[in-house]
Chains A and B, each alone.
Chain A
Amino acid sequence: MSLVKDFGLDSPVRKAILLALSIEDKDKKKLMDILHLQKVIRYFEYLLQKSDIDFSNFNLGGVSYEVTENLETLIECDLVEKTNHYFKLTKDGTGAIRELEKNTDMTELKKLLFAKQQLNDLDSDELMFFMYKLIPKTIENSTQFERLDKKKEELSKSLFLKGRINFETAVRWSGLTEEDFKKHLK
Chain B
Amino acid sequence: MKYIFDTSSAIILIEICKLAPKLLEFSSSVELIAPAKVRDEFLEGTSVEDALSFQKIFKIVSPNLKEDLLPYFHFDSNCGEFWVVSYSCENSDCCCVIDEAFGRERCNFLDLKLTGSIGIIKEMKKIGLINREDIRTIKSRIKQSDFYCTEELLKELDS
Q: Measured between C-beta atoms, what is the minimum distance from A23 to chain B in Å?
A: 13
Cβ–Cβ contact B109 & A162, under 8 A: no
Taking CB atoms, residues of chain A closer than 8 Å to B8 are 167
Q: Measured between C-beta atoms, what is the minimum distance from A105 to chain B in Å?
A: 12
Report how far A47 CA is from B151 CA in the complex, Å.
35
Cβ–Cβ contact B74 & A134, under 8 A: yes
Cβ–Cβ contact A164 & B146, under 8 A: no
List residues of B (101-122) whose CB comes within 8 Å of A's CBs. Answer: 101-105, 109
> Size band of the B side of the interface?
10 to 19
B128 at the interface (CB under 8 A from A): no
A160 at the interface (CB under 8 A from B): yes
Cβ–Cβ contact B148 & A185, under 8 A: yes
A29 at the interface (CB under 8 A from B): no
List residues of B (69-92) whose CB comes within 8 Å of A's CBs. Answer: 71-72, 74, 76, 79, 81
Cβ–Cβ contact A169 & B101, under 8 A: no
Q: Among A118, A162, A166, A183, point to the contact of B103 (Cβ < 8 A).
A: A166
Q: Measured between C-beta atoms, what is the minimum distance from B154 to chain A in Å?
A: 14
Cβ–Cβ contact A182 & B146, under 8 A: yes
Taking CB atoms, residues of chain B closer than 8 Å to A49 are 71
User: Contact mask A56-85 → B, CB, 8 Å, 1/0?
Assistant: 000000000000000000000000000000
B31 at the interface (CB under 8 A from A): no
Please name the residue on chain A nearest to B103 by beta carbon: A166
Cβ–Cβ contact A166 & B71, under 8 A: no
Report how far A152 CA is from B155 CA in the complex, Å.
32
Cβ–Cβ contact B146 & A168, under 8 A: no
Once A168-B79, A186-B146 are accepted as A-B contacts, the answer to whether A47 and B71 lie under 8 Å apart by CB is yes
Report how far A163 CA is from B108 CA in the complex, Å.
11
- Chain A interfacial residues counted at CB < 8 A: 25
List residues of A (74-132) whose CB comes within 8 Å of B's CBs. Answer: 107, 111, 114, 117-118
Cβ–Cβ contact B102 & A166, under 8 A: yes
Please name the residue on chain A nearest to B75 by beta carbon: A49
Taking CB atoms, residues of chain B closer than 8 Å to A166 are 76, 79, 81, 100, 102-103
A53 at the interface (CB under 8 A from B): no
List residues of B (126-152) whose CB comes within 8 Å of A's CBs. Answer: 146, 148
Cβ–Cβ contact A164 & B102, under 8 A: yes
Find the residue from A167, A168, A183 having the highest chain B CB count within 10 A: A167
B49 at the interface (CB under 8 A from A): no
Chain A interface residues toward B at CB < 8 A: 46-49, 107, 111, 114, 117-118, 134, 160-169, 179, 182-183, 185-186
A-B contact pairs, 16 of them (CB 8 A): A47-B71, A114-B109, A134-B74, A161-B148, A163-B100, A163-B102, A163-B104, A163-B105, A165-B102, A166-B102, A167-B102, A169-B76, A183-B146, A185-B148, A186-B146, A186-B148
